Amino acid sequence: MSDYRPPLDDIRLVLAEISDLAAICDLPGYEHVDPETVDGVLDELGRFVAEVVAPVNRIGDEEGCSVTDGVVSAPEAFGTAWDKFVESGWAAISQDPDYGGGGFPGSVQTVLTELLATASRAWSMGPMLTVGALDALHSFADEGQKETYLPKMVTAEWSGTMNLTEPQAGSDVGALTSRAVPADDGSYRIFGTKIFITFGEHEMTENIIQLVLARTPDSPPGTKGISLFIVPKYLVNDDGSLGERNDYRCLSVEHKLGLHASPTCVLSFGDGGDGAVGFLIGEEHQGMRYMFKMMNNARLGVGVEGLAVTERALQQAADYAIERRQGRAIGAPAGEQSAIVDHADVRRMLLTMRAYTDAMRCLLYLNAASLDVAARHPDSDVRQAASDRAELLTPISKAWCTDVGVEMSSLGIQIHGGYGYIEETGAAQHWRDSRISPIYEGTNGIQAMDLVGRKLAMNGGAVMVDLLAEIAGLDNELAAAGEAFASIRKGLADALAATEEATGWLVANGLNDPNDAMAGATPYLRMFGQLVGGWLLARLALGAQRRIDAGEGDATHLGTKVVAARFYAEQLLPIARAQMGAVMAGKADLFEIPADAFSA
């Protein structure tokens, strides 16, 4: 497996041209941050990730984790990296200064998430979920709870989790049966079993703060009857010291396709008989609303995983293609073997990975920037518009990026040929690690249904209409950019027209029969993702060309962004129009075959 190289030049370009980092730094509360400061931070962060986190990636895959008598053992290298993560202070960079954080924009947190996940997907799961737990607690916990838990979680001395899934419920969270029984002291006693709890038990941090969904007595059925509780691994004394071990334990860790060293736990609460001590967050029966705060944070983070695995797979595939000699490329001297990077088809695969990597980074960073504006802009109308834009982009960020991540990590194996199928090269690990991302934090089918069923209708459809209009508004700039951008302009216009037609069909037919809309939801999400990716690559290419024309930056690096945008427009963006048949086919064929005939 090749060494990881943080793609800082690519990150800086997207932060400037797509995120508009300078404007974000001007938002209230970010007065202590400017693009130059962020630039320096990126150098140090890249060095830390490459030297400390990246080396544990292969170790974790080979050693995995295990559980004995409820104690989970992870690779020693994971714990060492976590200790250095705490010592370095990186965990706190974008957290609230009132609780020890650095107060940087959330956009910088997204960069941190990318770099950690690219360096080691399995290791990065712990910090990512802790950030989500912090978000939920900061938004809904009372001041006493914040003072008790946030400072240690901000530094990553304590980690955080979310406990939703139960064996009988799966994605249907409303079917959960975990119980929360009131105690005389105002706390609760939690009973039940949770499954698939990432970093639910481990020894890398002093404490683990579980956020647990459960039902109080006489709660209404479904999601309306769910409340959210803090259930710490160790109870916290009044002076902040750790007290006795809480009444829950890890029954097992899952044996997974990938992410071998990320402990995915089955947790049982209340096995000791008295119940695990839990503390209600906010109001009773508001648990799903509160947990969605954490889940939306996690969905952006999971989308970043699609980018991360593609970046890492691309780096390894490119290094291999440059070194590996096989066959004679067209025009090469007779009798000599060529590096496979000189073969056109390998170039096609590498450029596909390159273009999708750039497109995903643009989308995810735009989503993060929209959240920063929604949180901090002084104009309420601007805040609302940014919040709406972030809501629209979130299912695309999560689903499109993770689907593409699986495809691109598979393409990385293909570039390696037979050696990619052999574990020793490390190429297969990227695919194995990627495969869970389309499943968790709401499967990608659920994301597609959310996009079609909820997001298209926001503000009477105005949020979607505004985005499509903004995409259309780039046409004049592309026209003025000349022949080098002609195919980008043509491809974007065609994909936009197809998406507008498909959107209109879904809105009209979904009103008559929602199953017609749901039948086309997943291909529509792919269509929309391809369009937004092409639009943002066009913007990135225009920005790169402006810099080339002004004599700024590395012309070779900037030129690759123009080529990648053109390649995407010509060879990948047509996928958008190709989805129209599937989007507009309706439900008829899907429901014509009897259910039992599928297994006949």
User: Phi first, then psi: what are they for 236, rounded to 5°?
Assistant: -105, 125
Residue type, position 106, single letter: G
State CA 323 to chain mean position distance. 32
Rounded CA-CA distance 38/330 in Å is 45
User: Phi first, then psi: what are they for 209, rounded to 5°?
Assistant: -100, 100
Strand, helix or coil for residue 44: helix
Rounded CA-CA distance 320/349 in Å is 13
Nearest to 210 by CA among 272, 268, 297: 268
Report H helices in 513-554.
Answer: 514-519, 521-549
Nearest to 281 by CA among 138, 127, 184, 99: 138
Q: How far is CA 268 from CA 158, 178, 287, 451, 583, in A?
A: 20, 10, 20, 34, 43
Nearest to 441 by CA among 291, 307, 312, 231: 291
Residue type, position 440, single letter: Y
Options 76, 254, 441, 592, the catalytic residue: 441
């047509």: which residue's tokens? Answer: 574
Whether 441 is catalytic is: yes
For the record, the structure tokens of 104 come out as 């940087």
Rounded CA-CA distance 13/19 in Å is 9
Residue type, position 49, single letter: V
Q: Are 277 and 317 in contact (CB under 8 A)?
A: no
- The CA-CA-CA angle for residues 532, 538, 542, to 5°, reads 150
Q: Are 432 and 57 in contact (CB under 8 A)?
A: no
End-to-end CA distance of the chain: 44
Q: Are 69 and 252 in contact (CB under 8 A)?
A: no
Residue 188 burial (10 A CB sphere; 0-12, 13-18, 19+)? buried
Looking at the annotation, which residues are catalytic?
441
